[in-house]
Structure 1
Amino acid sequence: MITPEFSIFRHRFWPNVFIICVFFFFVFMIPICRCDEVEVQLLLQLKSTLNNSASSPVFDDWKQGNSACNFTGIVCDSNQKVTEINLSSQNLSGPVSFDIICALESLQKISLGSNFLYGSISSHLSNCTSLKYLDLSSNYFSGEVPELSSLTQLEFLELNSSGFSGRFPWSSLENLTNLGFLSLGDNEFDSSPFPLELLKLEKLYWVYLSNCSIGGQIPEGIGNLTLLENLELAYNDLVGNIPNGITRLSNLHQLELYTNGLTGKIPAGFGNLTNLVNFDASTNQLEGDLSELRSLNKLQSLQLFENQFSGEIPPEFGDLKFLTEFSLYNNNLTGPLPQKLGSWSDFDYIDVSYNYLSGPIPPDMCAKGAFTELLLMNNNFTGGMPSSYANCSSLTRIRVSNNSLSGEVPSGIWSLPLVTRLDLNWNQFEGPVAPSVGDAKSLAQLYLANNLFSGELPERISEATSLVAIDVRSNRFSGGIPGTIGRLVKLSTLHLELNSFSGVIPDSLGACVSLSDINLAGNSLSGQIPANLGALPSLNFLNLSNNQLSGKIPWSFSPQRLNVLDLSNNKLVGHIPNSLSIDAFNGSFDGNAGLCSQTIRSFRPCSSDSGMSPRTEIVMYCFIAFACVLILSLTSCIYLRFRHNSSQNIKGSDSWDMKLFHVLSFSEEQILKALKHENLLGKGGSGNVYKVVLNNGKQLAVKHIWNPGSGNRKSFQSSSPILPKRSIRSKEYDAEVATLSSARHVNVVKLYCSITSEDSNLLVYEYLPNGSLYDVLHTTKRIKIDWMVRYEIALGAAKGLEYLHHGCDRPIIHRDVKSSNILLDANLRPKIADFGLAKILQTNECHGGESTYVIAGTPGYIAPEYAYSSKVTERSDVYSFGVVLMELVTGKKPVEPEFGENKDIVSWIYNKLRNDQEINPIELVDKSLSEALKEDAVKVLRIAIHCTSRIPLSRPSMKMVVQMLENAEPCKLSRIVVSGDYTSKNKEVMTRSSSGSSGCQV
């Protein structure tokens, strides 16, 4: 019931109450609307400076009329004020305007990581004084990081892999006393000592300063940061001891100090770090024993390889129940391995190669069925191969070479389904190879050399169709070579020498179309040499010496294919083909009393024919009369022409010095006539290259080396071969001749001869029709090549460089390895070319390198130490080759605008991969490649990363690179994903291994 009093109140005061309510509504609500509108406008301005891919709808609801709090990636507080901008991993590109962002007065969080943002960061960042969280990681910014001292509320700072360079404002960090998470790694900051300002930030629990040019010693005061759970200082220039203060960091889960210059021992009290899960101090100069580590009961990954540790491995390591990764290779450790090692956990791999360890192999490392790699090379292990590994179906590699292991290999070892490499070389194993080896469908490399194996090679070995290399030299094998060996179409290396094999060489061997290296020497083989061996397209090395082979030398053998041929000490008869009667094959036919030769004086002359094949001889007789008439007719014409052009052309043939390095079927006159502008293939830094087609259709490439003292670089005019007058022999010319005249390898370009005179320096090469790898990958001549082809190019080029570094009497450093100097033949087989900058090391240079005042090489490929110290070693070539591998994997050039200013492909890939966020490396693989093979490309990318290590000693040798690539044959390796529950997010960890497929594998 409405009372009279309420009625009076309603009529007298209700209008006033209504007016008052409306007044307060406008007083309080209108400013809120205006504030929201201001923030909307600011965010729309931010949107206008950024671009995102069509696949990301992040900005779809960033529209006028929509509340800022409803924008995707925007978080507001209870007062409808913007407090967070979360736009990480949205494919955004463009510059970031902090004058706009920092106008958002309540902003506390900026997350823009893992995008494609670029440009410099303005000083307006200092206006974000309420900021607590800043993530700009994994972008392409440039310039210096601005002053940060005003961001006193900051708790989280992540700038790793962001592209910043120059001086970092370390002094401003001391004001950031609330900072708990600090990640600045993988940026090219100016070198500086360890920032002592960090020691004042007592709330720090995460520090990532790897690869950001920090030097000097780690201060003792690091122990004051007692909340630290993660400390990563790898890939820097730190020296001195690991400080004792680090032992006070009892909360540490991860400690990474690898690839520095640290010395001394592991400090006393290190065992106090009982929460440590991952410890990596590899590639330093640490010494002493490992006793301080025996109480680290939570340890999962221990990486101490490439140091100088000595003493025995503590037996307590066998009780570590969580240990999965154990890598101590290249140290001076002695004594046995703990026999319980790996028996408690999902043990993944062990690599203790290159130590002085002894005793038996621990038997239970595969107890949980997760064991993948057994790497114990170059130690003193004894006993047999534990039978427990015969059932370890997870194993991918077994490498126990250079030990004192003995006994028979358990039958199941031969047939493990995932093993790609079985390396038992240099031990005392005995007994047969089990027929079950035919079930090893993944086996690519079988190395049994220098053991006591006996019996026959089983016929079923030809069922292991992934085999690429078989090396069983220096054993006691007998019986015949399996007649079905021709099924191994991938086989490239076959070494059966120094055994007791008998019978004939199977004709089916000629079906192994990938064979490049055959050595059957020192056996009891008989019968004729199969003629089809000479037709093998890749055959480079053939040694059949010290057998009982009979019959004639096949006419199919060609010096154009064979770089090494040894048929000595057999029972061969008949002619030595003239094509093989060259200096390169001196001694190759000795010990065959039935052979004769028209040209080699140490053999009796052939009485009945010329030493040519019958067909060739018939053809020759048919044309000889015609040739005589033709020669007489042309001689006068040629003489008159050369005399007429003598005032402007090169001098007559009597002035030529033509040095032959192979048997030739052409003269210098044929070469000179073809050096015309219309035959110009290209111009390089040291000369022009011409294509020459001989009368018989053979194609050659002729290079004229520039005269370094000549101002005129016009080598030819019109159609006449006009060369600069008074050309002096250049250093490039001498280097190329010195390098290639003796080089004999299928993956090194063949130099047929040099032609020099007073006026010209010419080099005559084999012609490679597919141009350079650079052309195929990057220019208008590019062709689509899948990963299988790219892999074969990578492996072939690596073998060529391995030959230069390790296969010559003195190491040869190329100094200009790049994709444009890797040429491709008709079958896309790679050949290393352009040795104008090559250096043949003298004996006293083999370890110290050589300094030069001129930086040789090409931007994007030059190793960092070469650029700043001018010191050249084989590892400089390894770096450059790593860049080539990156080109093959990504399809990108060494220098691209998208990498950022002064950035190359190496820094781009490092910035992409070396951070704390989960990144799928497949994203870096060339998008034109088949999805099914991208995982295989990632394996090679890991090798490339190892090759391009900033520290030369951390790079593998080319011999090791070849092994890594062989291990990374497509579809051979498994993927290892490691996660740490202490990081709050999963992470793909790059785990490095000495003889691993890449030195770092996912």
Structure 2
Amino acid sequence: MRRTPSYGRHRNSSSDARSTPDRFPYSPTPSSYSDASTARRSTSGQSAVAVAARSVVGVFVGCFTPPETKSSASFGDSGEFRPHSVISDASGAGSERRRSSGSSRGAYASSNNSRRERQAGCVKFTMDEIYKATNNFSPSAKIGQGGFGIVYKGRLEDGTFVAIKRAKKSVYDKHLGVEFQSEIQMLSQVEHLSLVKFYGYVEYEDEKVVVVEYVPNGTLREHLDCLRGNILDLGARLDIAIDVAHGVTYLHMYTDHPIIHRDIKSSNILLTENFRAKVADFGFARLAADSDSGATHVSTQVKGTAGYLDPEYLRTYQLTDKSDVYSFGVLLVELVTGRRPIEPKRELKERITAKWAMKKFSDGDALLILDPRLEKSAANNLAIEKILELSLQCLAQRRQHRPSMKRCAEILWSIRKDYKEISVPDFRSSSTRSQRSTLTE
């Protein structure tokens, strides 16, 4: 039985919970935190599924496609298509209001020879330690590359394996420096099992390095593309969605000040060997509006990834936690279909995956959008309908019509519970048929 992660756990030095890293101009997408895969866990459910208002579909389908935006270079590890990241906010990260933690987490290392201070989750490493961990940034330690730098697998003195992101010196500028500091500041505030753990950083002369948890089983996108062996069954995909929902709920509700991730997508979801999902990459994260002052949103220029961007945020420049909910709705469609949010090689009506999927769903053809590598079983068929109902709610054009991330987690637990209950008889029936076939041979 899978244990529900606790939302309200805050940082302490002995905690086993997690943190977050990995994306934006200096962050290569965490596409190659490689290794092996193993068993899958099960979950139990809670809450009933809220039935989506299908009347929203007409408005959604007509207004779905986001407008053209300027985007950065692709962060892909190869020549395959990967949605570009939109980076039109030149200074927004620097103007965020942040609550002081009362500790030295906000300070940045300035001496290459200083010993690291063993604060929980925010260690000031030295470059000597980074060189030693990566064998002087050996090419054999390289596990990923993106638009701003390279990710290496490293090993600390205590034996801990880590992912070390080293920024390219040639692309430093004031804007990217602000985002580096923004990511460090955000990472030092969060700790949850479904968020990638932050170990520390180095900012020394022309070096900018972030040290985060090494997650060995690659990204969700790699698994959906079948680049890592076995196909993820629908039960595994539901568990991943639940993990992501828990992690983002923690950001929205249980940190000292609510945080909006702003870049929820499959290539920012890392998987452990046991297929626990961890949300990574806080380069675009922002503190949410201060509700105590009566504010309802943060006004900021648009950042995020094409295909996942909230259309209301695109139109109004008003950022809220419901923008993460919208991106999560796109992620749910990815999990069901196996497709990327934007499929430029497909015919025009299928290029925007969520728009195409919601149209099929509204027409009563939900099963036609199921990932062809998944079995059409009674359990899968029921789960797909319910997941798409939740997707429809998340993808509502107006933020007030979208559920909270906490509500998404509750609905997904309920779907998972029903899925497990139906899957057991399906499995027994399949086993009986197999035995009968063997006896008749």
Q: Could you tell me the TM-score, scaled by structure 1's length?
A: 0.30
Report if the CA contact (8 A) 1:727-1:758 is conserved: no
Task: Write the deviation string for residues 828-874 of structure 1: whole angstroms up to 9, x where unpaired.
Answer: 11111110010012416874322223x21111111111222222111
- Equivalent residue in structure 2 for 1:827, among 238, 252, 274: 274
Provide the secondary structure at the position in 2 that maps to 1:755: strand
Q: For the structure 1 residues 753 and 659, does the alpha-carbon distance in structure 2 shift closer, same or farther, using more than 3 Å as the test?
A: farther
Work out whether 1:924 is the aligned partner of 2:337. no
Q: 2: CA distance between counterparts of 1:950 and 1:822?
A: 25
Deviation at 1:954, TM superposition (A): 0.8
Distance in 2 (alpha carbons) for counterparts of 1:751 and 1:687: 18
Query: Would you say 1:907 and 2:366 are equivalent positions?
Result: no
Larger Rg: 1
CA distance in 2, matches of 1:824, 1:561: 17
The answer to whether residue 402 in structure 2 is matched with residue 947 in structure 1 is: no
Q: Are the equivalent residues in 1 in contact too, given 2:288–2:320 (CA < 8 A)?
A: no
1:693 to 127, 145, 155: 155
3-state SS, counterpart of residue 654 of structure 1: coil
2:412 maps to: 965
Distance between the aligned counterparts of 2:308 and 2:348, measured in 1? 17
1:740 aligns with 2:187: yes
**Counterpart secondary structure, 2:196:** coil
Partner residue, 1:775:
222
1:867-899 CA-partner distances (Å, limit 9, x unpaired): 222221111110101111111111111111335
Query: Does residue 678 of structure 1 match 2:140?
Result: yes
- 747 and 821 in structure 1: CA distance in 2 versus 1, 3 angstrom threshold: same
Letter in 2 for 1:878: V
Q: Any conservation in 2 of the 1:875–1:957 contact (CA below 8 Å)?
A: yes
Shift of 1:903: 4.2
> Does the CA-based 8 Å contact 2:260-2:287 persist in structure 1?
yes
CA–CA distance in structure 2, aligned partners of residues 784 and 835 of structure 1: 28
User: How far apart in 2 are the matches of 1:846 and 1:761?
Assistant: 37
Look up the SS of the partner of 1:808 in the other structure: coil
C-alpha contact 2:111 2:204 (8 A) present in aligned 1: no
What's 2:14 paired with? 559
Amino acid at match of 1:813: I
Q: Label 1:741 to 1:651 Cα distance change in 2 as closer, same or farther (>3 A).
A: closer
1:680 counterpart letter in structure 2: K
Structure 2 counterparts to residues 846-865 of structure 1, below 5 A: 847-853=295-301, 855-865=302-312
Q: Aligned pair in 2 of structure 1 residues 890, 653: CA closer, same or farther (>3 Å)?
A: same
Give distance in 1, aligned partners of 2:347 and 2:240. 25
Q: Helix, strand or coil for the counterpart of 1:804? A: helix
Q: 2:128 aligns with which of 662, 666, 669?
A: 669
Choose from 802, 811, 819 the match for 2:258.
Answer: 811
Rounded Cα–Cα distance in structure 2 between residues aligned with 1:517 and 1:815: 22
Paired with 2:242 and 2:294, the residues of 1 have a C-alpha distance of: 25
Q: 1:558 to 1:811 in 2, by over 3 A?
A: closer
With over 3 angstroms needed to count, the CA separation of the structure-2 counterparts of 1:694 and 1:665, relative to structure 1, is: farther
Question: Do the aligned partners of residues 660 and 729 (structure 1) sit closer, same or farther apart at CA in structure 2, a change above 3 Å counting?
Answer: farther
More relative contact order in 1 or in 2 (CA 8 Å, sep 6+)?
2
User: How far apart in 1 are the matches of 2:242 and 2:259?
Assistant: 19
Alignment of 1:777-792 (within 5 A): 777-778=224-225, 780-781=227-228, 783-792=230-239
Distance 1:651 1:806 in 2: 34
The structure-2 alpha-carbon separation of the partners of 1:901 and 1:941, relative to structure 1 and needing over 3 Å to count, comes to closer
Aligned length: 325
Which residue of structure 2 aligns with residue 653 of structure 1? 112
Q: CA deviation at 1:738?
A: 1.5
Letter of the structure 2 residue corresponding to residue 822 of structure 1: I
Give the whole-Å Cα distance in 1 for the aligned partners of 2:156 and 2:350: 46
1:846/1:777 Cα in 2 relative to 1: closer, same or farther (>3 Å)? farther
Q: What amino acid is aligned across from residue 877 of structure 1 in structure 2?
A: D
Tell me if structure 1 keeps the 8 A contact 2:115–2:126: no
- Measure the CA separation in 2 of the matches of 1:727 and 1:660: 28
Task: Describe the shift of the 1:704–1:842 C-alpha distance in structure 2 as closer, same or farther (beyond 3 A).
Answer: farther
CA distance in structure 1 between the partners assigned to 2:114 and 2:13 by the alignment: 31
Deviation at 1:781, TM superposition (A): 3.3
| Structure 1 counterpart of 2:342 | 895
In the TM superposition, what are the counterparts of 1:435-474 in structure 2 within 5 Å? none
Question: Is the CA contact 1:815–1:838 (under 8 Å) kept in the aligned structure 2?
Answer: yes
- The structural deviation recorded for 1:973 is 9.9
Q: How does 1:107-146 map to 2 (within 5 A)?
A: none
Separation in 1, partners of 2:337, 2:394: 16
- Determine if contact 1:686/1:732 at 8 Å carries over to the other structure: no
Cα separation, partners in 2 of 1:926 and 1:767, compared to 1, 3 Å: same
Residue-by-residue CA offset, 1:687-710 (whole Å, 9 max, x unaligned)? 43221134654310112345xxx6
1:432-581 matches, within 5 Å, as 489-490=1-2, 492-493=3-4, 516-517=5-6, 559=14, 561-562=16-17
Partner Cα distance (2:218, 2:139) in 1: 18
Q: What is the CA–CA distance in structure 1 between the aligned matches of 2:205 and 2:241, rounded to whole Å?
A: 40
Instruction: Using the TM superposition, give the Cα deviation of residue 905 of structure 1 relative to its aligned residue in structure 2, in angstroms.
Output: 1.3
1:941 deviates by 1.9
> Which of these residues, 166, 171, 177, is aligned with residue 704 of structure 1?
166
Question: What is the one-letter code of the residue matched to 1:911?
Answer: K
Amino acid at match of 1:784: I
**Aligned equivalents of 1:868 and 1:895: distance in 2?**
20
How many angstroms does 1:658 deviate by?
6.1
Amino acid of the residue matched to residue 688 of structure 1?
I
CA root-mean-square deviation: 3.5
Q: 1:885 to 1:753 in 2, by over 3 A?
A: same
Equivalent in the alignment of 2:210:
763
1:938 is aligned to 2:385: yes
Distance 2:279 2:160 in 1: 21
Distance 1:651 1:843 in 2: 32
Rounded Cα–Cα distance in structure 1 between residues aligned with 2:178 and 2:118: 18
CA distance in 2, matches of 1:851, 1:899: 36
Q: Letter of the aligned partner of 2:177 in structure 1?
A: S
2:311 alignment partner AA: P
Q: Distance in 1 between matches of 2:110 and 2:398?
A: 51
8 Å CA contact 1:541–1:563 kept in 2: the answer is no
Kindly indicate whether the alpha-carbon contact (under 8 Å) linking 2:122 and 2:188 is maintained by their aligned counterparts in 1: no
Alpha-carbon distance between aligned partners in 1 of 2:385 and 2:312, rounded to the nearest angstrom: 26
One-letter code aligned to 2:129: Q
Q: Structure 1 residues 653 and 664 mapped into 2: Cα distance closer, same or farther (>3 Å)? A: closer
Q: Report how far residue 809 of structure 1 moved.
A: 1.8
Q: Determine if contact 1:658/1:753 at 8 Å carries over to the other structure.
A: no
Shift in Å at residue 927 of structure 1?
2.2
In the alignment, is the contact (CA less than 8 A) between 2:164 and 2:212 conserved in 1? yes
Shift of 1:728: 8.7
Return closer, same or farther for 1:878/1:685 CA change in 2, 3 Å cut-off: farther
Quick one: structure 1 residues 652 and 955, their matched pair in 2 at CA, closer, same or farther if it must change by over 3 Å?
closer
Q: Secondary structure at the match of 1:730?
A: helix
SS at match of 1:857: strand
Change (3 A) 1:899 1:740: farther
Structure-1 separation of matches of 2:122 and 2:317: 39
Residue type of the alignment partner of 1:702: I
5+ residue gaps, structure 2: 20-108, 423-441
Contact 2:124/2:201, CA 8 A, preserved across alignment: no
* Aligned AA (1:930): E
Counterparts of 1:681 and 1:872, CA distance in 2: 33
